[in-house]
């Protein structure tokens, strides 16, 4: 004796129905046609998304990777401006400030020793407040690592390398958010 399939919800109209076959997703032919249209549209959106990814320029990939990297810096570094010591507890916008700018030294764009949290005032209006930034860098990372920043490295990343950098920092952000450290504020030694 073969038992009837259980009642289930229609994929399209969400109404309950008694299926005639085990894998029947819809209650009627009309709903089945609608489901086929939705599936086709979903597949086309997926293909369009893939095509757009392939058409992105190196600059677009670089901007996306920079955004993810900057987000990682704001999460992982102390919640205090490296130049002036301003704390970001009052809703003030923290920025990822480069000691050596990306225009002057594109090879240090993704170097974590070169990028620290800065307030808008120091980063934008005081051109990085470099003197105070340098003093704190010597204190935080030491003179040897600061001197290592002066060695010119690779700056002409391929698109695949940029994608890897972006994926690396996305994974770091995801892991950071899972950890208990996510909402802990760390004070640097000023």
d(Cα 96, Cα 123) in Å, to the nearest integer? 8
d(Cα 132, Cα 84) in Å, to the nearest integer? 7
pLDDT of residue 31: 93
pLDDT of residue 160: 92
Q: Which ranges of 77-158 would DSSP assign to H, the alpha helix?
A: 120, 130-141, 143-148
- Residue 183 tokens, joined: 């909402």
- Is the model's pLDDT at 169 over the cut of 50? yes
Q: Sorting pLDDT into bands at 50, 70 and 90, what band is 154?
A: confident
In this structure, are residues 86 and 50 in contact, taking their beta carbons and an 8 Å threshold? no
d(Cα 123, Cα 184) in Å, to the nearest integer? 24
CA 51 to the chain's CA centroid: 21
Mean pLDDT, range 172-185, rounded to an integer: 72
* More confident call, 52 vs 132: 132
d(Cα 44, Cα 130) in Å, to the nearest integer? 50
3-state secondary structure (DSSP) of residue 44: helix
Residue-wise pLDDT tens digits, 49-74: 888 777 889 999 999 999 999 999 98
- Is the model's pLDDT at 164 over the cut of 60? yes
Closest to 110 in 3D by CA, of 154, 53, 174: 154
* More confident call, 189 vs 175: 175
Q: What is the DSSP letter of 80?
A: B
Residue-wise pLDDT tens digits, 19-50: 888 888 889 999 999 999 999 999 999 998 88
Report the mean per-residue pLDDT for the chain.
86
- Is the model's pLDDT at 90 over the cut of 70? no
- Is the model's pLDDT at 186 over the cut of 50? no
Burial grade of 180 (CB within 10 A; 0-12, 13-18, 19 or more): exposed
d(Cα 173, Cα 181) in Å, to the nearest integer? 11
């Amino acid at each position: 004796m073969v038992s009837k399939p259980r009642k289930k919800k229609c994929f399209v109209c969400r109404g309950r129905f008694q299926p005639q076959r085990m894998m029947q997703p819809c209650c009627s032919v009309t709903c089945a046609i609608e489901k086929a249209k939705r599936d086709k549209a979903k597949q086309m959106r997926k293909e369009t998304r893939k095509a757009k990814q392939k058409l992105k320029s190196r600059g677009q990939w670089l901007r996306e990777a920079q955004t993810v990297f900057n987000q990682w810096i704001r999460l992982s570094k102390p919640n205090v401006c490296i130049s002036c010591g301003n704390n970001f507890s009052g809703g003030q916008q923290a920025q990822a400030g480069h000691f050596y700018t990306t225009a002057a030294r594109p090879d240090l764009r993704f170097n974590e020793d070169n990028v620290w949290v800065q307030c808008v005032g120091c980063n934008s209006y005081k051109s990085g407040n470099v003197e105070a930034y340098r003093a704190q860098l010597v204190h935080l990372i030491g003179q040897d690592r600061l001197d290592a920043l002066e060695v010119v490295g690779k700056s002409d990343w391929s698109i695949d390398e940029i994608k890897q950098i972006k994926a690396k920092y996305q994974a770091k952000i995801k892991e950071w958010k899972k950890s208990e450290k996510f909402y802990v504020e760390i004070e640097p030694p000023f």
